[in-house]
Amino acid sequence: MTACVKDNAGAIGYMESGHGWSEDLPEVNVLNGNNRSLTSRIAKENGGIAAAASEAVTPSLADSDWGDVDFINKVR
């Protein structure tokens, strides 16, 4: 995927962010619910999903009911 996106101007693809970073590919900015534009690199620098998880009330066991956990639109 990385080679395909890199070798074709205007191509859009989905890959693990580290692969894109290592090839110096640009990435989309996603506008979150707080009107903040984010990239995966910015999210990583700010703790990524771990930061969102720390704000969520999460069950103590992996096999518990996670139905009420909301990782979307965290204000970080």
DSSP string for residues in 42-53:
HHHHTTHHHHHH
- Say how far apart CA 13 and CA 8 lie, in whole Å: 11
> What is the chain's length?
76
Full domain range(s) for residue 9: 2-55
Whether residue 33 lies inside any domain: the answer is yes
Q: What digits encode the pLDDT tens for the residues 8-53?
A: 988 888 888 888 888 888 888 877 777 878 788 888 887 776 766 6
Whether residue 61 lies inside any domain: the answer is no
Whether residue 29 lies inside any domain: the answer is yes
Provide mean pLDDT across the span 44-66: 75
Provide mean pLDDT across the span 54-58: 65
Whether residue 71 lies inside any domain: the answer is no
**What's the structural domain count of the chain?**
1
- pTM beyond 0.85, yes or no: no
- The answer to whether 76 and 47 have CB atoms below 8 angstroms apart is yes
Whether residue 6 lies inside any domain: the answer is yes
**55 — pLDDT class (breaks 50, 70, 90):** low
